Each structure stands twice: as structure tokens, then as C-alpha cells.
Structure 1
Amino acid sequence: MTEDPKIDFAAHWTIDPSVTFLNHGSFGATPKRVLHEQEEIRKRMERQPMQFFMRDLPGELDRARAEFAEFVGADPANLVFVPNTTTGVNSVLRSLALEAGDEILVTSHGYPACNNAVDFVCERAGAKSVVADIPFPISSPDEVVEAILAKVGDNTRLALIDHVTSATALILPIEKIVDELQARGVDVLVDGAHAPGMLELDLESLGATYYTGNCHKWLCAPKGAAFLWVDPSKRTEVRPAVISHGAGAPPEERFHYEFDWTGTHDFSPYLCVPTTIKFLRSLMPGGWPAIYERNHKLALQARDLLCDTLDIDPPAPDEMLGPMASVPLPDAPYDKLPPNQFTDPLGERLARGGFEVRMAAFPELPKRILRVSCALYNRLEQYEALCEALPKALDGQELVEEGELPVY
């Protein structure tokens, strides 16, 4: 990969320069230009709330929706903004008229929060959650399709499938999965939390029943921006997780009315999405396709460095990776969860040494994996530095002396 060393993409973000931040995938990071836009929107909101909420907001939401819909290949009529993918998943699941004996299919790589939502709705209805066990390491996308189809039965009502898995960072063959499941009469809810800004999307041609994803991750919008796309045949059936004024609208007109207003909150993340799309596109000749390619190549380089350090083979084919990569680590030296489900002793040791990565118990302790993300502001030498520090951290050693520990 050749890249002009004079280009300092990091200058467009507020990332702490003392931290080697290799975990964009967890929460994203918003460029300064977009944060400025958000602040201006918030000033307008506070300067004249009635003008903003009652007169300006409906039209501005429509314009933002139309520009974002074009970016993801969607009809704006089928798309609404939601605060995060978990809300989108919950909105669909809570709208299902499940009956006792129905089954919802998930995978072993599914995002825990969303799989929890499946368990919740199934328990209330007397339905059942069925797990398709996808291997990791994995040698072919076909293994994913085979594992999912093997769990489809006569009672399978819905499949919740990740487009890009969170912990293992795999791009699943979603087009093939959707085709096979729809041919068997199974509706598909795609958890595309990572996909916008990572992959080129064409939601109208994908064929899924529902698709939800975040704008605050790889699209780099402010936190609190996500979307839900619903097939036109299901629009009257899907209701937001919060019922508010829009519930009084006629069913055929209710989709936007309900989701656009679930109560007073900060709408600035939604309104910043078009600015984010345009700004990131402007950073590289070739626009978004060039960004996808650049970050994917960097992820492959980072993955190879980690594999060399750990003396392991690549755990997944190159074509199943985007701008993230996960590698299995040696078994953890403990057999129970750490006190906080979001922390890991190794990850915390790395963080104290200035490295932010994603650690996960997978499939369960003592097995665990390490995931790195490759955003525009990242550089190859950051992963080289991580690999230099990793053996020491794995050995239980601190990366800095006690007096040198950073203060946050």
C-alpha cells in the first residue's frame, strides 16, 4: 500500500495523540469538521427551540434521510433514523407477533446485546432462540452459510444475522445468506452495525426484510446516529421501541411519523450524517471506494503482523475482512469473567501502556481474541508498535513503569 506520508489524516480528528487508538470499531470517532457542524445545530436548537423542533426539524430530517438513503442504496420511504443499531433491532423484534413454538435464528458470532433482545422477546412469547455455531478460525464463507442453513426448521420465523460480526470482525456473505433464507420463507433482520462507511451498500437490492446499522462507527457521524430500513411490505407492522405522538397517524403513513418523533432528544447526530458523508469523501482522491480499499489493506497488514507475533496462521480469508481484524490469543490465565464485562486484564494492561484495542472472550473464557481497527487516522507503524509490546503484555508485565502511567 502506498500512501503519501505528508497526508496527516489524524489532524482531522480529536484523538488523543498520546494514545495509540486502534479500536475505532467500538464507538467510532467523529472528525472536527462534523463536531463543529453538530455544535452549530445545537446552538440553533437552544436559541429558538420552537422554531427548531416545530418548524425546521421535519424538513431537515427529510433532507438528511434522502442524502443518507442515496449513500446506502435505499428508498427514503423505507428508511428512518434511530439512535443506535440495538434500538433498530429491538424495534423490529418487539413488533413481531410471535407465538409459542416459533423460533428466531441467531449465530454464535452475534452481538450479545442483540442476542439478548432475541432471548427477551422469545421468553415473553414462549418462542425459542436457536443458535447457529459459526467456527473461528474459519476457512471459507461457505462455512457460514452451511452453519446457518443447518439450523433452519419449520418453525423458523426470523433470522438475525450480522453483516459484519463484532468480536470476530468477519464480513459474512450476507447476499447469499439472505437469498437462501428468503427462499425457505424465513425473514431476515440484518445487524449491519459496522457496515455503513465500511462497505458499499445497496439495501433495496439486497433482499433482506429489515436492515439496521450505525452511522457513528465507520461513517464517523456523532454518537446517536443510526438507521433502520424496512421492506415496504412490513412498514405498517414495524413500530418504534418508544411509542409517542406518531402512533395516531394512519397506519400507511405512520412509519416516518412514529420513528421521527419518539420524544424530545438531540437530533443533531442525524442531521450531521450528510456532512459526514461529504467530508470523508473529500479526504481521499477516489472518495469512499478509495477509503474502503485503503483501510482494508491496512487491516490485512495489521493482521499479518499480529499473526507473525503470535506465530499463528491467519484465522480468516482476506475477503472476509474489511477495516478490522481479529486474532485468537493464548488462553487466558483465569477461568472466570473479569469484574467488568467490558474489560480484560490484558486489554487494561495494554491501555495503561497507551494502546486501545478490543478484547473479547470468544467463544468463552479461557478463549479470547484481540481485535484491531484500521481507520483513516491510523498508520502501519502503530500496529508495529502494538506487536512489539504485545509479548510483554501477554507475559503479565506492565508496559510502563508505575510512575509513568498515563492519567485520564
Structure 2
Amino acid sequence: MSAPLRAHWGLDPKVVFLNHGSFGACPTAVLQHQSELRARLEAEPVRFLGREVEPLLDEARTGLAAFVGADADDLAFMPNATSGVNTVLRNLRFQPGDELLTTDNEYNASKNALDVACAGMGAKVVVAKLPWPVPSPDAVVDAVMAQVTPRTRLLLIDHITSQTALVMPLAELVRRMRERGVETLVDGAHGPGMVPLALQELGAAYYTGNCHKWLCAPKGAAFLHVRKDLQAGMKPLVVSHGHNSPRTDRSRFRLEFDWTGTHDPTPFLCIPTALRVVGGLVPGGWPEVMASNRDKALTARRYLNTRLGQDTPLCPDTMVGSMVCVALPEGAPVRPEPPLYLDPLHVRLFEEHRVEVPVTPWPKAPQRHLRVSAQLYNTPADYEALGDALEALLR
């Protein structure tokens, strides 16, 4: 992709932005549409929130459902994927001795929610240790399935891991778990817009994903997909008017989740615009967006591994989406247990070279890795700038 595509985003031109994966970045055209919706809301709040927002949400949900391969009625809007994970875990009930399975690559916030849910019910968290580097998707499946026992009740799994940028073998894991009578809660924070989704075909019990990351909607746009047979009794984190609504024209799931109190619905309403704007930036639409970002990520990995003297990639190409993980050489300056975004190398990359890229202690300090993102606005020059900065700082 060419540098002019960056003009569709309002990113600081003085910063080499290689961290789309953390919070996304919203195109200016989508933000303009959000501003228009907010102005419409504030011009007559009662009309907008009381009479207009429900069909607008239905329209946005329909557009999102087509993109993720789902029935629109099975989707509930969420402010973020962490809220989706918490919603599911707060609704499930476990017995003392039950086991809830996850991996050592699970996103910290979701793992915390799992720990709290288990502690409150006397259940046990079981953590499957994945191989690192990862030789194959089958090695991941084997590591997870080896921890399944007759007491396993749920698998919490990232679709794309945050720390290590692995595209997990999700369909195989969901299938294998269901064969064992175990349902799956998928933390798909990075899924929408990075990889094609077909949620009905996948068959996972629960899938939650962000729309403000790779789909490029405004911040605060996410969803929770609940398989239809599991929606009965599912409650939002905030119980509101829908709980005792006498309406019969919508499902209880819709009535419970669509209105949980006054909030700004415009991030959700902008999802169709984000789909149209970003998909319209390249001739092949969203399939080309995803393929282009993946190709760019693989090229960046090869380039950075060469610059850093790393001979072997950390995972096969089949497990790469729009982000890659690159190992830093031994001997790089480290601080044990660095706070979020305060790793000294992360800070120096930004302050001295204006390169924004996360540095994570993985698997644990003093070992560290870079997680590098690829989005339409990135160019080869961005990765060359990162390589130059690393050479200067690690010399």
C-alpha cells in the first residue's frame, strides 16, 4: 500500500505508528460521521434516544452480522471485549471442583475475570502452557486438549493472542472441546477486521470481539455473540428496563441487552460506516484489506528478524494475521515486571525515535519481544525506521 492511504487517518505525522493492535485508529471520515450523530443526539436527546436509536441499532447490528457471519439477533453490543468476557462469566454457574481452562497466552484482563469468577464459586482455573516458539497449530491444540479432564466446564481462549500475536487454531479447538462436552468462550478482541469470521459456522458458545481495533470503528464499539440455545437467562452486566419489559416483538436477549441505561450509542452506529470506509480504500474490499495487512506483517517480520539476527520465526506463517511477534536479542536493557507501556525500551523508542511499538516481557523478564502491527496506513519505511531505531538503541 502507498503512503497516501495514511491521509485517511488523523495519526500524528511525526510518529511511526506500529501499534494499531492496542486501541486501533479510526479514520477521519468515520469520526466525522460520529460527530454528526452526536450533534443529532444532542439537538433532541429524547427524540434520538427514545424514538430513533432502536432502529438505528438494528441497522448497525445487521451490517455487523453480515460481516462476522452471524444472525443479527444473536449479537449484543458491548463497549469492549473485556465487558463481553465478564458478561458471560458473571452469568455462568460452577460447582466447587469444576475446572475452567485457559492458556498462558490469555489476555491479562480476561484471565483476571476468570480468576474472580472461579474464586467466587470454588472452581479451579487450569492454565495450559503453550510451546514457545510455536512449531505448528497442532502443537497448540495438543497442549490445550492435554489439560481437559472430566471436570472441565469451559475453555476461555483468545482468537488472536495479545502478547504473542498468534492466530489460534480456533475452529479445531471449538470442535474438539464440543466433542468432549465443553463449551468455549472466545476472547476475539483482535478478530473482527483482522481475519474472516463465520460465527454461526464456528459454533462457539460465546464470542466477543472489538470493532474499534482492526475494523476501525470509534472507541467503545464491540459485540458479544451468544449461540441461540444459550441465550435464555443471559443477563447484561447492568440490569435495566428490559428485564421486565412486556414487549413481545423482540427476543428477551434483545430487550435485556439493547438498553442498559443512558450511554453514547454512536460508536455502535458507526460500525457500518467503518466497514464501508475501510473496505472502500482498496479495490478488493475487506478481503484485500486483511490479505494486504497480513502480507505486510509477514514482510515486516522477515525484515526485522534479519536486522535483529533472529534466524527462525516464532510461529509458522499460517498463525500470522495483521500482527507479528519478534524476539529481542539477549542482553537488551530490561526492568523486571515493567508496568504497562512503561518498558524502558518502549519509552526510548518513542521519545528518541518517535516509533510507537509495544515491548512485552515474554515469556517472562528478562526475555522480551516486540509486537508489530500492520495496517493499510503502514509502509515499508515504517518498519525500516523501527529497524534503524532498534539498531541504535541495542548497539
Per the normalisation by structure 1, the TM-score is 0.93
For residue 213 of structure 2, give the secondary structure of its aligned residue in structure 1: coil
Asked if the contact 2:335–2:343 (Cα under 8 Å) also holds between the matched residues in 1, the reply is no
Asked if the contact 1:156–1:186 (Cα under 8 Å) also holds between the matched residues in 2, the reply is yes
| 1: CA distance, partners of 2:367 / 2:232 | 44
| 2: CA distance, partners of 1:227 / 1:335 | 36
Equivalent residue number for residue 268 of structure 1: 266
| 1: CA distance, partners of 2:371 / 2:233 | 37
| 1: CA distance, partners of 2:394 / 2:82 | 33
One-letter identity of the residue aligned with 2:344: P
| 1: CA distance, partners of 2:244 / 2:321 | 43
| 2: CA distance, partners of 1:321 / 1:205 | 22
Indicate whether 1:336 and 2:332 are aligned: no
Which of 179, 182, 192 aligns to 1:183? It is 179
Residue 262 of structure 1: how far off its partner (Å):
1.4
Aligned residue pairs, count: 390
Asked if the contact 2:334–2:343 (Cα under 8 Å) also holds between the matched residues in 1, the reply is no
Indicate whether 1:206 and 2:202 are aligned: yes
Equivalent residue number for residue 124 of structure 2: 128
Which of 253, 256, 265 aligns to 2:254? It is 256
Residue 258 of structure 1: how far off its partner (Å):
1.7
| 2: CA distance, partners of 1:337 / 1:160 | 25
Indicate whether 1:139 and 2:155 are aligned: no
| 2: CA distance, partners of 1:33 / 1:359 | 31
Residue 393 of structure 1: how far off its partner (Å):
1.7
For residues 340-399 of structure 1, what are the alpha-carbon distances to aligned partners after superposition, in whole Å with 9 as ceiling and x for unaligned? 33320000010112000012111221122111100011001110111111022234xxxx
For residues 29-40 of structure 1, the aligned pairs below 5 Å read 29-40=25-36
For residues 200-219 of structure 1, what are the alpha-carbon distances to aligned partners after superposition, in whole Å with 9 as ceiling and x for unaligned? 11100001111000000000
Asked if the contact 1:164–1:193 (Cα under 8 Å) also holds between the matched residues in 2, the reply is yes
For residues 198-237 of structure 1, the aligned pairs below 5 Å read 198-237=194-233
Asked if the contact 2:333–2:345 (Cα under 8 Å) also holds between the matched residues in 1, the reply is no
Which of 147, 169, 174 aligns to 2:170? It is 174
Equivalent residue number for residue 378 of structure 1: 378
For residues 210-229 of structure 1, what are the alpha-carbon distances to aligned partners after superposition, in whole Å with 9 as ceiling and x for unaligned? 10000000000000000000
Residue 333 of structure 1: how far off its partner (Å):
3.9
Indicate whether 1:109 and 2:105 are aligned: yes
Asked if the contact 1:346–1:394 (Cα under 8 Å) also holds between the matched residues in 2, the reply is no
For residues 9-408 of structure 1, the aligned pairs below 5 Å read 9-249=5-245, 253-312=251-310, 313-331=312-330, 333-334=333-334, 336-338=336-338, 340-352=339-351, 353-395=353-395
| 1: CA distance, partners of 2:263 / 2:155 | 31
| 2: CA distance, partners of 1:50 / 1:76 | 26
| 2: CA distance, partners of 1:211 / 1:373 | 23
Residue 169 of structure 1: how far off its partner (Å):
0.4
Asked if the contact 1:168–1:371 (Cα under 8 Å) also holds between the matched residues in 2, the reply is yes
For residues 271-316 of structure 1, what are the alpha-carbon distances to aligned partners after superposition, in whole Å with 9 as ceiling and x for unaligned? 0000000111111111011111111111011101111112112111
Asked if the contact 2:341–2:358 (Cα under 8 Å) also holds between the matched residues in 1, the reply is no
Q: Which moved more, 1:202-211 or 1:247-256?
A: 247-256
| 2: CA distance, partners of 1:9 / 1:224 | 24
Residue 245 of structure 1: how far off its partner (Å):
1.5
For residue 22 of structure 2, give the secondary structure of its aligned residue in structure 1: helix
Equivalent residue number for residue 401 of structure 1: none
Q: Percent identity?
A: 51
Residue 335 of structure 1: how far off its partner (Å):
5.7
Asked if the contact 1:303–1:325 (Cα under 8 Å) also holds between the matched residues in 2, the reply is yes
| 1: CA distance, partners of 2:363 / 2:233 | 35
For residue 8 of structure 1, give the secondary structure of its aligned residue in structure 2: helix
Asked if the contact 1:161–1:188 (Cα under 8 Å) also holds between the matched residues in 2, the reply is yes
Equivalent residue number for residue 404 of structure 1: none
For residues 223-267 of structure 1, what are the alpha-carbon distances to aligned partners after superposition, in whole Å with 9 as ceiling and x for unaligned? 000000001111013211122121224799321122111111111
| 2: CA distance, partners of 1:374 / 1:351 | 18
| 2: CA distance, partners of 1:225 / 1:296 | 23
For residue 325 of structure 1, give the secondary structure of its aligned residue in structure 2: strand
| 1: CA distance, partners of 2:244 / 2:308 | 59
- What is the RMSD of the two structures over their aligned residues, measured on CA atoms? 1.4
| 1: CA distance, partners of 2:358 / 2:179 | 36
Residue 334 of structure 1: how far off its partner (Å):
4.3
Gaps in structure 2 of 5+ consecutive residues: none
Asked if the contact 1:295–1:374 (Cα under 8 Å) also holds between the matched residues in 2, the reply is yes
Asked if the contact 2:218–2:270 (Cα under 8 Å) also holds between the matched residues in 1, the reply is yes
One-letter identity of the residue aligned with 2:360: A
Equivalent residue number for residue 402 of structure 1: none
Per the normalisation by structure 2, the TM-score is 0.96
For residue 212 of structure 1, give the secondary structure of its aligned residue in structure 2: strand
| 2: CA distance, partners of 1:333 / 1:28 | 28
One-letter identity of the residue aligned with 2:289: I
Gaps in structure 1 of 5+ consecutive residues: 396-408
One-letter identity of the residue aligned with 1:363: P
| 2: CA distance, partners of 1:126 / 1:85 | 25
Residue 8 of structure 1: how far off its partner (Å):
1.0
